[in-house]
Amino acid sequence: MSRLLCCLLICLLPLLSHGLEVGETAPEFELSSLPNQTPMELQDFAGKVRYVDFWASWCAPCRVSFPELIKLRAEMGSENFEIIAISVDEKTEDATRFLRRFDPQYPVLHDPDGKVAERYDIPAMPTSFIIDRYGQITMVHTGFRDGDIEKIRTHTNSLLAEES
């Protein structure tokens, strides 16, 4: 009976965690970029709609999301929109090996100790946050499945249209 209760609690705990929600201010952070280790902050992209994507090299859905996000960024440009990918891989080599496969043309940062991911209360990989020009979270997206990019595109376009 106690094993069953423990298993049930383990399964339910993620559902009980608070996590960041729509309407909250996105926590600021400073991380080093990959591969050149340039320090970057969320504030560096103030005034733009930002898609902050927490990912890991071992994450199967991340292999699906990266090509879609690369297309989205190419389509939308970087004048008013930016994707900021944040690797939670402990080892830089794991993240850079993954990146060689995709070659994203947007900032990729590294959070090897998971402190920023912890501040954002990431429940799963990937988890992404769409942040408006004023720093407010307008969408939280967990996982990545076929068709998800359309919801992300529609939401992002609506933010860009209303803020133009």
Of the candidates 15, 33, 59, 30, the residue with the CA atom closest to the CA atom of residue 119: 30
pLDDT at residue 130, as a whole number: 98
Q: What is the mean pLDDT of residues 35-59?
A: 96
Q: Is the pLDDT of residue 10 over 50?
A: no
Distances (CA, A) of 120 to 7, 52, 98: 25, 10, 23
Look at residue 58 and tell me whether its pLDDT is greater than 60.
yes
pLDDT at 1 over 80: no
What local confidence, expressed as pLDDT, does residue 164 receive?
58
The helix (run of H) or strand (run of E) holding residue 127 is: strand 127-131
Indicate the domain borders of the chain.
22-162
- Tokens 């043309």 locate to 105
pLDDT at residue 90, as a whole number: 96
Total-model pTM? 0.87
124: tokens are 């799963």
In 3D space, the residue among 41, 74, 47, 64 whose CA is nearest the CA of residue 153 turns out to be 74
What is the pLDDT at residue 50? 98
* pLDDT tens column, 14-36: 444 457 899 999 999 999 999 88
Q: Confidence band (pLDDT; 50, 70, 90) for 163?
A: low
Q: Are strands 30-33 and 108-110 parallel, antiparallel or unpaired?
A: antiparallel
Distance CA(19)–CA(123), nearest Å, equals: 8
- Compute the average pLDDT of residues 48-73: 97
> Mind listing the pLDDT tens digit for each residue in 114-132?
999 999 999 999 999 999 9
On the question of pLDDT at 49 being above 70, the answer is yes
Does the pLDDT value for residue 11 go beyond 90? no
Indicate the CATH number of 22-162 among 3.40.1350.10, 3.30.70.100, 3.40.30.10, 1.10.150.120.
Answer: 3.40.30.10
